[in-house]
Structure 1
Amino acid sequence: MTTSPFSRRGFLQTTAAASLASSLPATQAATANLPTTTAPVGDTTLRWLDGTAPARFEGATLGVPWPRGQIKSTAKALDFKLGNHPVQSWPLAYWPDGSLKWTAHAIAGGTPAGALKLEAGKPAAGGLSVKQTAAQIVVSAGDLVWTVPTRGEALIAEATRAGRVTLKNLKLVALRQDGAEPELDGQVARQAFTSKVTAVTVEQTGPVRAVLKLDGMHSGNNRDWLPFSVRLYFYAGAESVRIVHSFVWDGNPAKDFIAGLGVTAQVPMTNATHDRHIRFSGEGVGVWGEAVRPVTGLRRDPGQAYRDAQVAGAALPPLSGMDKRVSDRLALIPEWNDFSLSQANADGFTITKRTQAGQAWIASNGGARTNGLVYAGGASGGVALGLKDFWQRAPVRLDVRGAATPLADVTAWLYSPSAPAMDMRSYRSPGDMDTHEKQIEGLNITYEDYEPGWDTSVGVARTSELQLWVLGATPSHQVFSDMAGQVATPARPVLTPQRLHACGVFGDWDPVDTGTPARKLIEDRLSLQLDQYLREVEQHRWYGFWNYGDVMHTYDADRHMWRYDIGGYAWDNSELSTDLWLWTSYLRTGRADIFRLAEAMTRHTGEVDVYHLGEFKGFGTRHGVQHWSDSSKQPRISNAAYRRFYFYLTADERCGDLIRELLESDADIGKVDISRKLAPGAGPRSTELPGVGFGTTWGSWIAAWLTEWERTGDKRWRDKLVNGMQTIGDLRRRWFAGGAPYDAKTGKFAGPGADVSISHLNGVFGVAEMSSELLTLLDVPAYRRAWLEYCRFYNAPKDEVAALLGKDPGGRSLTDTCSRLTAYAAFHEKDRALALRAWREFFSSRALRGGGQLRRVGGVETIRPLVEQASISTNDSAQWGLAGIQNLALVGDSLDEAAKAAGLVQ
């Protein structure tokens, strides 16, 4: 239940009221008057994301927040225990007073017994070790030993299990095609490339988790291209290594077509072929399992014991006991050498096999969707390789080649060679929009910002996750099914929403509370909208290598389709902070399905929608038909605020890399004129310094700087934040100036800031959320006054705005979603009347008055039956959701009064 309207976040949320002496430099005063402690948390019991303990656990890492002032430590390794289960802990981020804000905890494989209670104390021993020489790195865990060369083709040279070499030469492969798929009698040629590792960094050495980062290029045919970064994660108590594979597309879209992209390893096959086995995950928990040389289904029966052993994947009993009519003819039973599972799309996979190259492929079986795991080996051991988000990323493929030979190859194709080659060209020809005037007219009809050369795909990236097991025997069907489940939905220990909320992280939100009719009304609507987007991903098949993780921008109710082919209305690319909406929704609900949708979005938007090399490095691409096709390149899409959640909740190193990539991107703002399509005179301009908008641009940089300051304590990034905040506050019109000339060297804004420029976009790309965080961390009175002024007056009546600014300049819209600005001012200024105004603004949306109702559409009207919300818009959904969440947290105690006055509840 709720409490008084201005005590909800109390001491934690309110910054110091006293102003600092003007003689103190802002960088020294930045944290002087902020709270140094908050109420400590006691119990830190973890739970499983999916609610129950997993059948199989290969280890995982999570981030844990702590209230300001509770834990003071400068140690690189921290002492936490998890009962008798091994755990490894280290600092992840710090509060301004130097106390720990986030800690990271690696949990060993093997499901912990009892409650997952994390507490101070000496952890149980992990037993994982790392030994390094100039030539190689050796990681040992139990009877598993992994050898990683520091240079060359192999990512892992070999892995042994109980002394037996079970895996050799794990490497990356890529296929280049010199043209698109041939039309009728056309021809194309393919070339093969393999990984060339140029650097290996040992990022962690155990005793529970070791992390190796391998950087390099795909090499072959006198060419190096497709730069990659691969991390190998080893956990004590696990039989596997987790592989996080990232690459950057740097080819020529007109000439280079990726025909295959994969991870492959060799498996020594030492058992007799009747004791060698192949496994593929099937539908659901199903398993496809067969021997290289089958002894079941023969004309002559070898005996029950032999059939049972082979189906189980065990070694056959001595052949001397087998019916001689079979044992004498074993050599005449075909040996199946090659196996393939191909998932061509999200709706279907097929399994085929053949006896050898040059012979026909035989269809075995198939299904709809599989978890994406393959095994090859025998009674003495083998290798299983799985690809996360397998069917969601289709076209994909799993291969075994040479199963009847001494050395088999197992390959997980991240992009399948069976599919048409990957086409990275622009979807449109520049011929019909070859002048600036035509481009403006095109923007006015299809909402697409187009300009030749600005729709390039060069520099986008993609990250994939794999799991590689080295096993001492062929797994049973049940064990293999459990492994496949771990690949598809890795077991993840997490915190409850209440435990996260107690630490005051990530701004203004609170756990779900349906304790009053008005709260239930809003919570139900928030859930309905989240459920609809989960449904839309499936209904409209938002899957595929480059697409999975994104959602669409706007719906076309006439076609019962999202506007996938209409300019700027197609892929969303984080427009209006969809990522923030999903992550904040997860924080307060703890829902596993929302976590996984947000995780997929983070993996997508941070990689595919952002440039990682080339002239647009550090910038993201506005919403469009292709993720890179719109010519508007902006920091609001590469915004680190969208990545911070996943980084802190999981301590994911790749996500941390992406945030660090953006630290210096403000220095390049002059290279990309964001406002080049605007009318002359629109927006802040300067002949010396580039004009930068406070919300859409500066507000998109600050999350990277804040995160780096929190991670490292480097005051350079704190000072850059303070400089921007202070100089915004010093402008004559403060936030209502909209933007000003900006100096990337200092982070300061320049000029008098006397003109008023209001844009409805200024507050919807994370700056509202980030300002809320910054003002609990940095005491910059001038910025606090400026932000509170903006929050109070953005939605204010025209006469009040005119009294403040001399006139009502217009440009104010999104009244309902910007109600959270009003709520912020109401909370911090303890103004109940303003809180009620915030709710009236929020209620102006149709969302709570019958808008957005669901209906079923089917028959010949649609490609498949749909549950449709005809008025759905991702802009509206994300911003309305964020406003509802923040309003509940800030002014929730005035909700019932406001809802009754509006006639929403009795």
Structure 2
Amino acid sequence: MKLTPFSRRGFLQTTATASLASSLPVSQAATANLPGAATPVADTQLRWLDGQAPARFEGATFGVPWPRGQVRSAAKALDFKLGTHPIQSWPLAYWPDGSLKWTAHALAGGVPAGELKLESGKPAAGGLTVKQTATQIIISAGDLSWTVPTGGEALIAEATRAGRVTLKNMRLVALRQDGAEPELDGKTARQAFSSKVNTVTVEQQGPVRAVLKLDGTHTSNGRDWLPFSVRLYFYAGAESVRIVHTFVFDGEPAKDFIAGLGVTAQVPMTNATHDRHIRFSGEGVGVWGEAVRPITGLRRDPGKAYRDAQIAGQALPPLSGMAKTVQDGLKWIPEWSDFSLSQHGADGFTLKKRTAPGHAWIDSNSGGRSKGLVYAGGAAGGVVLGFKDFWQRAPVRLDVRGAAGDMADVTAWLYSPSAPAMDMRSYRSAGEMDTHAEEIEGLNITYEDYEAGWDTSVGVARTSELQLWVLAATPSHQTFSDMAEQVANPARPVLTPQRLHAAAVFGDWDVVDTRTPARKLIEDRMTVQLDQYLKEIEQHRWYGFWHYGDVMHAYDADRHMWRYDIGGYAWDNSELSTDLWLWYSYLRTGRADVFKMAEAMTRHTGEVDVYHLGRFKGFGTRHGVQHWSDSSKQPRVSNAAYRRIYFYLTADERCGDLIRELLESDADIDKVDISRKLPKDPSREPAPGQPNASFGTTWGSWIAAWLTEWERTGDKRWRDKLVNGMQSIGDLKRRWFAGGAPYDAKTGKFAGPGDHVSISHLNGVFGVIEMSSELLTLVDVPAYRKAWLEYCRYYNAPRTELTTLLGKDPGKLNLADTGSRMTAYAAFHEGDRALALRAWREFFSSSALKGDGRIRRIAGVNVLRPLDEQSGISTNGSAQWGLAAIQNLALVGDSLDEAAKAAGLVP
């Protein structure tokens, strides 16, 4: 157990500086021929994501992009201010010329007054301090002080408020069960695990924000299980700490069942039991609040002043003023010690309490969806604990135990012990497919690629976000309700789409524009599709601990159900770039509901659909009935492009971890042979150490991680790896039309003559189109530019043109509407209007604008509940059509009206 010293990189991030001096000219060589090329910005106005200032704000961090060349690095701290509100700023990414591309900003707690305008200038003081010793780290702000040990069981040893110890021994807990739930007369045993912290890293310390990262495992009787990483976020002006909790499943699925997973803390209870209070968030803004020893509803009335004080959570007036009959009878009123709110599923919770262990639970109330917050304490202070996406992640639970004693335990169960134990086994029977021929037969009928041992859940992860308050008194119902809203919908300062677009980041996209009939037609169709997926989450209850954030892949109109049980048609797992569709939709619309859906997807797909340890580390799993059930493990799912936009918008450290995890994953491509079941061409067998890799689904999925690392650190090793890959593709005889080639992970280069032709529609649908658009503005590789423009021009070209180019007929190509954006890219960069019109014709070949998006109401006995059905819905089609629409509008929008009229889509 050791204290990891504050890293030099972290120090530079906190203290390196820049100044918003006069705007510098943008590099014309790289950006002159770009849609929406960066221009200097004079105004950086922020807004609240949900449209209005929150009732409560506990601090937040956000990213801001800058046009190339505008913000130059200097030798002092980053000087940004936001009115009189304390703010802390640091570099997040750089342009190739060394100017700042992204800055991150931490805003102190307390709702800022006036407009949210980020400007050059000296920030207001924050007042947060961090003191380190060999055994502990103390974070202080105002009258709050948090003590974090550098090792051991506790994540937070204690927290004091105005000198009073209000919280003790916050730690992690897990319950292991040795078998599945007994179905008849079977028996299972449970074993309790507690956190063991191995290392603590102070990742950031400053006057407004401090971040501590704690790494360890859950331990019990000498066994370490479920490695975890927990970050603690402290903000000046806040009464709380934000907790980001990640664990990785590393057990044996048939033996190690997770029966509970939680965060727990102790609360000293020093007030008389009639002045001790419990609060739970209910439905909507609702609050359930009761005292440990209630004095309302008695046979004898204690008096209005006493009743009002207890309902408000305040200390009762002196008991000497109370009617003597009530004074004498207080001792006979039961003291309720234990309380529990259990959210069994997305649609219902129950609330109960009991006087002590060994006695019956008494039902109190029930409801639909709780926001997931609990308080335990008294007039002298207490603790509030809750977590985001509470009912969406059900089964979950909030507990208070021992409230009538000297020390209460408050626990947020991220997975409820009341539910059946978490089952991480495969849904298939062992030996179901014993031969390769049978595996292919199964794939042909269910579309799921099964192979024994490749459907393991070992190595998947899950991240949860919690909030912990230390208060000086019991909160009022209104205050507690505001806290619950802050947990369920964290207040977030964001930029407008116009301000994001002005910085020319993330490639080819533009802000929503409905000024012409043709644009309105496309924009309305994109809105319909986004709205439908938001509705599908609710209609089909895509909720649950492992599921929330993902969507389904394909629809079964006969059953009026998504194909949740049909092999590769079930969970989507980022196919085909659903994550990017949502993030680009947010960039251009600024819609809060789209942001939240994309955020949940990023939290899911980057953790659950990707392996973080074991033989498949760094690879993701193709779509299947379970998130890990398909045997195709590919970088196209672990793709950093799907996390990158969220990382830059929020400066989220966990998301940054996920991107860095992938930096060396190309070295393992030969260990997880993606093409192992496909027929082999002996003439194309690679040399040892140089496995074949496709340009799109494989190399195209690595480059986002390398680009992000180069941008974050300036380390040219990653730039060189990018350039090596680009140059070597351009040097091949068939260039991009070779589809793939032998790959050397040490250099990032492709080898061989590349004289064959291999065209796959999948090569362009996992982010490589978006990433190539960005790369070609950042590095100058003429051979790759030529190769990419050639591929973009000819992928959808008439068969005769493509046959002439390649010397052979490549056969039928799929996804013409998706490929239209490549045509549009070539049209824009080559100034070819005829090609632009061809791009629109290709795009219009989809049925999306011709009635396929019609929605009808289905009700009655044929469905579980009434639903609005779009029978032709497909996530592949929705994501790729949406991405094509976005890029086409940005690149060749000036020819849209002409093309739409020619196609008869508008008058």
- TM, length-normalised to structure 2: 0.96
The equivalences for 1:753-792 within 5 A come to: 753-792=754-793
Q: Find the aligned partners of 2:162 and 2:811 in 1 and give their Cα distance.
A: 73
User: Who is 1:632 aligned against?
Assistant: 632
2:105 matched to 1:105?
yes
CA contact (8 A) 1:760 1:811 kept: no
Residue 374 in structure 1 maps to residue 371 in structure 2: no
1:817 Cα shift?
1.2
Secondary structure at 2:473 match in 1:
coil
**1:852 paired residue number:** 853
Q: Is the 8 A contact 1:555 1:870 kept in 2?
A: yes
- Where do residues 833-852 of structure 1 align in structure 2 (5 Å cutoff)? 833-852=834-853
Change (3 A) 1:685 1:509: farther
Question: How much has 1:683 moved relative to structure 2?
Answer: 11
Residue of structure 1 in register with 2:8 after alignment: none
- Deviation string for 1:807-832 (max 9, x for gaps)? 22125210011100000000000000
AA partner of residue 860 (structure 1): V
Q: CA deviation at 1:16?
A: 7.5
Task: Measure the CA separation in 1 of the matches of 2:681 and 2:451.
Answer: 21
Partner of 2:550: 550
In 2, distance between residues paired with 1:457 and 1:722? 36
- Match runs of 1:524-539 below 5 Å: 524-539=524-539
Say whether the 8 Å CA contact 2:262–2:415 is kept in structure 1.
yes
* Counterparts in 2 of 1:444 and 1:904: CA distance versus 1, 3 Å: same
Partner residue, 1:117: 117
8 A contact 1:76–1:90 mirrored in 2: no
Q: Distance in 2 between matches of 1:839 and 1:592?
A: 30
Note if contact 2:92-2:103 (Cα within 8 Å) is conserved in structure 1: yes
**Partner of 1:408 in structure 2?**
408
Aligned counterparts of 2:478 and 2:190: Cα–Cα separation in 1 = 40
Alpha-carbon distance between aligned partners in 1 of 2:859 and 2:640, rounded to the nearest angstrom: 41
SS in 2 for 1:741: strand
Can you list the C-alpha shifts for 1:155-192, whole angstroms capped at 9, x where unaligned? 00000000000000000000000000012111100000
Paired residue secondary structure (2:759):
coil
CA distance in 2, matches of 1:179, 1:100: 54
Distance 1:289 1:626 in 2: 40
Matched, 1:817 2:818: yes
* Per-residue Cα deviation, 1:518-574 (whole angstroms, up to 9, x for no partner): 000000000000000000000000000000000000000000000000000000000
Aligned residues: 881
Aligned to 2:693: 692
In 2, Cα distance between the equivalents of 1:370 and 1:564?
27
1:515-530 mapped onto 2 (5 Å cutoff): 515-530=515-530
Residue 20 of structure 2 is matched in structure 1 by: none
Offset of residue 680 of structure 1: 2.4
Is the Cα–Cα contact under 8 Å of residues 430 and 452 in structure 1 kept in the other structure? yes
Aligned residue in 1 for 2:47: 47
Tell whether the 8 Å contact from 1:296 to 1:307 is kept in structure 2 after alignment: yes
Equivalent AA in structure 1 for residue 179 of structure 2: G
**Cα distance, 1:592 vs. partner?**
0.3
1:450 Cα deviation after fit: 0.3
2:670 aligned counterpart, secondary structure: helix
Amino acid at match of 1:443: L
Residue equivalent to 1:614: 614
Aligned to 1:507, what secondary structure does the other structure show? coil
| Residue 709 (1) aligns with residue 720 (2) | no
Q: What's 2:231 paired with?
A: 231
1:525 is paired with a residue whose SS is helix
The residue type paired with residue 333 of structure 2 is I
| 2:737–2:791 contact (8 Å) kept in structure 1 | yes
Letter of the 1:813 counterpart: N
Distance (Å, rounded) in 2 between the aligned partners of 1:653 and 1:416: 27
Q: Which residue of 2 aligns with 1:255?
A: 255
Q: Which moved more, 1:70-79 or 1:533-542?
A: 70-79
Partner-residue secondary structure (3-state), 1:140:
strand
Contact 1:257 1:423 in 2 (8 A): yes
Counterpart of 1:56?
56
Residue 801 of structure 1 pairs with residue 792 of structure 2: no
Distance 2:597 2:31 in 1: 38
Counterpart-to-counterpart distance in 1, 2:77 and 2:766: 36
Cα pair distance change 1:717/1:683, threshold 3 Å: farther
Corresponding residue for residue 333 of structure 2: 333
Q: What is the distance in 2 between the residues matched to 1:621 and 1:552?
A: 14
SS at match of 1:756: coil
**Paired letter, 1:457:** S
Shift of 1:221: 2.0
For 2:267, the equivalent position in structure 1 comes to 267
TM alignment of 1:19-98, pairs within 5 A: 38-73=38-73, 77-98=77-98
| Equivalent-residue separation in structure 2 for 1:726 and 1:540 (angstroms) | 47
Match of 1:144 in 2: 144
AA paired with 1:406? D
* In structure 2, C-alpha distance between the alignment counterparts of 1:431 and 1:809, rounded to whole Å: 39
Question: Can you list the C-alpha shifts for 1:713-737, whole angstroms capped at 9, x where unaligned?
Answer: 0000000000000000000000000
Q: State how 1:632-711 maps to structure 2 within 5 Å.
A: 632-681=632-681, 685-688=685-688, 689-711=690-712
Q: Aligned partners of 2:236, 2:444: CA distance in 1, in Å?
A: 58
Q: CA deviation at 1:685?
A: 3.6
Q: Give the SS at the match of 1:297.
A: coil
Q: Deviations over 1:230-276 (max 9, x none)?
A: 00000000000000000000000010000000000000000000000
Q: Counterparts of 2:382 and 2:709 in 1: how far apart (Å)?
A: 43
Aligned to 1:216: 216
CA contact (8 A) 1:176 1:192 kept: yes
The one-letter amino acid of 2:719's match is: R
Q: Deviations over 1:273-296 (max 9, x none)?
A: 000000000000000000000000
The residue number in structure 1 matching 2:870 is: 869
Counterpart position of 1:206 = 206
Structure 1 CA distance, aligned partners of 2:812 and 2:715?
Answer: 38
- Cα distance in 2 for partners of 1:764, 1:427 equals 29
TM-score where L is the length of structure 1: 0.96
Which residue of structure 1 aligns with residue 21 of structure 2?
A: none
- Cα distance change on mapping 1:562 and 1:684 into 2, 3 Å: farther
1:292-331 correspondence to structure 2 within 5 Å: 292-331=292-331
Q: Do 2:26 and 2:39's aligned partners in 1 also have CA atoms closer than 8 Å?
A: no
User: For residues 334 and 283 of structure 2, what CA distance do their matches in structure 1 show?
Assistant: 27
The aligned residue for residue 16 of structure 2 is none
Q: Distance in 2 between matches of 1:263 and 1:509?
A: 42
User: Counterparts of 1:330-409 in structure 2 under 5 Å?
Assistant: 330-409=330-409
Q: Distance between the aligned counterparts of 1:16 and 1:319, measured in 2?
A: 76
Shift of 1:77: 3.8
- How far apart, in 1, do the equivalents of 2:222 and 2:765 lie? 48
Structure 2 gap segments, 5+ residues each: 1-24
Q: Aligned letter for 1:823?
A: A
Contact 1:684/1:693 (8 A) holds in 2: no
Give the CA deviation at 1:851.
Answer: 1.1
List per-residue Cα deviations over 1:439-494 (Å, max 9, x = no partner).
Answer: 00000000010000000000000000000000000000000000000000000000
CA distance in structure 1 between the partners assigned to 2:876 and 2:682 by the alignment:
24
SS at match of 1:433: coil
| Residue of structure 2 in register with 1:603 after alignment | 603
- Aligned-pair identity in percent equals 83
Equivalent position SS for 1:69: coil
> 1:584-626: per-residue Cα shift (whole Å, max 9, x none)?
0000000000000000000000000000000000000000000
678 and 11 in structure 1: CA distance in 2 versus 1, 3 angstrom threshold = farther
Change (3 A) 1:590 1:12: farther
Q: Distance in 1 between matches of 2:517 and 2:192?
A: 63
C-alpha distance in structure 1 between counterparts of 2:125 and 2:853, whole Å: 55
Structure 1: segments with no counterpart, 5+ residues:
1-9, 19-33
Kept in 1: contact 2:509–2:887 (CA 8 A): yes
Give the Cα separation in 2 of the matches to 1:743 and 1:72: 36
Tell whether the 8 Å contact from 2:342 to 2:349 is kept in structure 1 after alignment: yes
CA distance in 2 between partners of 1:742 and 1:122 (Å): 50
Shift of 1:681: 2.1
Contact 1:16 1:779 in 2 (8 A): no
Contact 1:13 1:504 (8 Å CA) reproduced = no
Query: Which residue matches 1:24?
Result: none
Structure 2 CA distance for aligned equivalents of residues 596 and 723 of structure 1:
37
